[in-house]
Amino acid sequence: MSLDTTDGYLASAQSHLQAARFCFEHDRNGLAGSEAYFSMLASVNA
């Protein structure tokens, strides 16, 4: 996946958000916060 395009950044944001949700549901709150941060960062870059 190339992050040179808006679609690439949005795909990355969605992937990180899914990972955050998974981590949160499995009581890995530190990792969930980190993944949520990277999701937000990719969204802003898009």
For tokens 């969204």, name the residue: 43
- Can you give the pLDDT at residue 5? 87
pLDDT tens-digit series, residues 1-46: 555 788 899 999 999 999 999 999 999 999 999 999 999 999 999 8
- Can you give the pLDDT at residue 14? 96
Q: How far apart are CA 39 and CA 24, in angstroms?
A: 14
The pTM score is: 0.84
Q: What is the DSSP string of 1-46?
A: --TTSHHHHHHHHHHHHHHHHHHHHTT-HHHHHHHHHHHHHHHHH-
